[in-house]
Amino acid sequence: MIIKIKSHKRAVFKKILEYMMHDKDRLFDKEKRSFAITHNLKGNSIEEWDQQYKINEQFRQRKRSDSVLLTHEILSWHREDAKHITLAKMEEMAREYINKRNPNGMYVAVPHFDKEHYHIHICASGIEYRTGKSLRLPKADLLKLKKEIQEFQIERFPELSKSVVAHGKKGKSLTSEKEYQIKLRTGRETNKEQVMGILNTCYKKADSREIFFKLLKGCNVETYERNGEVNGVLFQNYKFRFNKLGFNEDRMKELDKCKRREGEIRESRNEKEGVELER
């Protein structure tokens, strides 16, 4: 799941809410049903919610000219998980997100569908309900929120496997958030995913480093050296280091072991054949 948060320093509650509630991109099921979560808000109209957001601003403890009055937050899932997503699942994850984000805030959450992927728009107050405390999320807390809501998603809906992101992790097997957004936008595999697929295929076929590199070359993936040693590959004019793709020295040594085992088997076979000839 990708989480985007855009801050607004003007009281554009009504503008955001009108966009969220418009039928153009709002998600409805076959029976024309949808949902609109209202947390710490009363009523059913944009005008009522807009007024309550503005009234709550009067409780702000620290007033500055550049204070964040609201945030427009988006939860999104990859298009390849579309067949597994339902309104019920989206609503459950949105409610869990609000609870983990800060249950003392004021929120309106609405599901949308456009550009072939599912997402939820959330209008969040800049301060808590009636306390005036800021809802601002420091970078560390935002990362913690991303990890926690994703853990919830994995536990409750493991079928949404294409929407799992490596929040805060670099060089891991999971897709990075930047790569995920590229896939979300284009629907295509990233260069990293493509080259990893080629590496895995060639690795399974190879029984030595030399054969591994030769197979890669046959797939138009050239290797490059650093300090006299093969350090990674060149693909689509980008460099990818082996250890950043999960092909560290230990995995490379496994290929060397394969070569040694093959040599030992060959030597043993030759010795047996020699003994037979002597007989």
The pTM (predicted TM-score) of the whole model is 0.65
Label residue 251 by pLDDT band (50, 70, 90).
confident
Q: Is the pLDDT of residue 276 over 60?
A: no
Region 153-159: mean pLDDT is 90
Distance, in Å, from the CA atom of 34 to the CA atom of 186, rounded to the nearest integer, reads 27
Contact of 78 with 163, CB cutoff 8 Å: yes
Distance, in Å, from the CA atom of 6 to the CA atom of 200, rounded to the nearest integer, reads 39
| Per-residue pLDDT tens over the stretch 59-69 | 999 999 999 99
Distance, in Å, from the CA atom of 36 to the CA atom of 3, rounded to the nearest integer, reads 19
Contact of 198 with 213, CB cutoff 8 Å: no
